[in-house]
């Protein structure tokens, strides 16, 4: 099975990463969403170790983990995405390994990582179970699986996007599969995770309120949502977040003794970039 998405192409995603949309330097809504995800994720993580981000895109999460001392590895099918990821590592002044590869066939040995994660990846695949199976395979027993999933569902954040010319095409690029919390839990358990937790989060103001033609930098959207963040975050994990939220936070521990250690270093990781990132 090859690394293929249902409704998007490498060319389309290449245009996204070339635009600089994933750069950590941007003060935009995506930075705020990342901050919220990390608020929930940090208390669950070990103090250090080796992490792998599958379908890393611009690798914002991994760059931030690297800045905290993690030994990070990032994999994506798009070389353009890895260029974007390199910029983010340079921004935080940290090092990591960037690899072009196939999420269906991860080039790493069993039990190689303490943390395996993906951010906005699994919804792009009609059959994501093999990818989750691979992610859990390379995770050590007792290690942490994390994924945030943007399902094909209503969200306040994108509720008015249909008013924008080309909005349906953008949605086809972003949303490709519906998920329920029960389906996500079953997917993680089938792959070998225990202590699974899945909850809705990320209720944000509609994007349409902040037209990029009028506010091209995204700073106003960032500030407006940031001011409301303490209130909006209280909706996370509630029925309102199920109805209005943008994504699901999915977490699990790989079944097995928590004291088990990673078995050696990952294989075929790819060369480090010249700047050390």
Instruction: Tell me the pLDDT tens digit for each residue of 109-122.
Output: 999 999 999 999 99
Instruction: Tell me the pLDDT tens digit for each residue of 20-46.
Output: 778 888 888 888 899 899 999 999 998
pLDDT exceeds cutoff 70 at 166: no
CA 113/CA 41 separation, integer angstroms: 17
Q: Provide mean pLDDT across the span 257-265.
A: 45
Instruction: Tell me the pLDDT tens digit for each residue of 48-87.
Output: 899 999 999 999 999 999 999 999 999 999 889 999 999 9
As a 3-state breakdown, the chain gives helix, strand, coil percent values, each rounded to 5, of 40, 20, 45
pLDDT exceeds cutoff 90 at 144: yes
Mean of per-residue pLDDT scores for the chain: 83
pLDDT exceeds cutoff 70 at 132: yes
pLDDT class for 164, splitting at 50, 70, 90?
A: low
Q: Could you give the strand order of the β-sheet that contains 193-201, starting from the edge strand earlier in sequence?
A: 97-100, 71-76, 50-54, 113-119, 139-149, 247-254, 193-201
Residue 241 exposed, middle or buried by CB count within 10 Å (0-12, 13-18, 19+)? buried
pLDDT of residue 269: 39
Pairing of strands 193-201, 139-149: unpaired
Q: How far is CA 179 from CA 27, 35, 197, 265, in A?
A: 29, 23, 15, 34
pLDDT exceeds cutoff 60 at 176: yes
Percentage of the chain modeled with pLDDT above 70: 79
Extract the tokens encoding 54.
């599958």
Extract the tokens encoding 220.
């106003």
pLDDT of residue 174: 56
Q: Are 117 and 64 in contact (CB under 8 A)?
A: no
Taken in order of first residue, the domains within the chain and their CATH numbers are 10-254 (3.40.50.150)
Pairing of strands 247-254, 139-149: antiparallel
Q: Provide mean pLDDT across the span 78-100.
A: 94
Q: Are 123 and 177 in contact (CB under 8 A)?
A: yes
pLDDT of residue 146: 97
118-122-127 Cα angle (round to 5)? 140
CA 263/CA 259 separation, integer angstroms: 12
Percentage of the chain modeled with pLDDT above 90: 59
pLDDT of residue 128: 94
3-class SS at 22?
A: coil
pLDDT of residue 2: 38
Can you state the angle between helices 10-18 and 79-92, rounded to 10 degrees? 30
pLDDT of residue 260: 42
Extract the tokens encoding 157.
């954040």
pLDDT class for 212, splitting at 50, 70, 90?
A: low
């Amino acid at each position: 099975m090859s690394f293929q998405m249902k409704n998007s192409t490498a060319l389309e995603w290449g245009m996204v990463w070339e635009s600089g949309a994933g750069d950590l330097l941007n003060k935009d809504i995506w930075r705020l969403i990342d901050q919220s995800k990390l608020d929930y994720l940090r208390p669950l993580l070990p103090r250090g170790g080796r992490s792998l981000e599958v379908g890393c895109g611009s690798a914002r999460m991994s760059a931030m983990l690297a800045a905290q001392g993690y030994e990070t590895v990032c994999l994506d099918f798009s070389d353009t995405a890895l260029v974007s990821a390199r910029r983010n590592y340079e921004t935080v002044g940290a090092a990591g390994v960037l690899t072009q590869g196939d999420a269906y066939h991860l080039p790493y040995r069993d039990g190689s990582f303490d943390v395996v994660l993906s951010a906005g990846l699994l919804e792009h695949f009609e059959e994501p179970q093999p990818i989750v199976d691979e992610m859990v395979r390379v995770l050590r027993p007792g290690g942490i699986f994390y994924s945030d999933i943007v399902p094909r569902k209503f969200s306040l954040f994108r509720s008015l996007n249909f008013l924008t010319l080309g909005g349906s095409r953008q949605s086809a690029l972003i949303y490709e599969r519906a998920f329920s919390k029960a389906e996500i839990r079953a997917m993680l358990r089938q792959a070998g995770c225990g202590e699974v937790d899945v909850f809705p989060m990320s209720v944000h103001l509609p994007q349409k309120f902040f037209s990029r033609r009028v506010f091209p930098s995204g700073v106003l959207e960032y500030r407006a949502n940031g001011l409301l963040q303490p209130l909006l975050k209280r909706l996370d994990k509630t029925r309102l977040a199920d109805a209005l939220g943008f994504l699901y936070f999915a977490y699990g521990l790989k079944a097995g003794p928590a004291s088990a250690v990673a078995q050696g270093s990952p294989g075929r990781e790819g060369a480090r970039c010249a700047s050390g990132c």
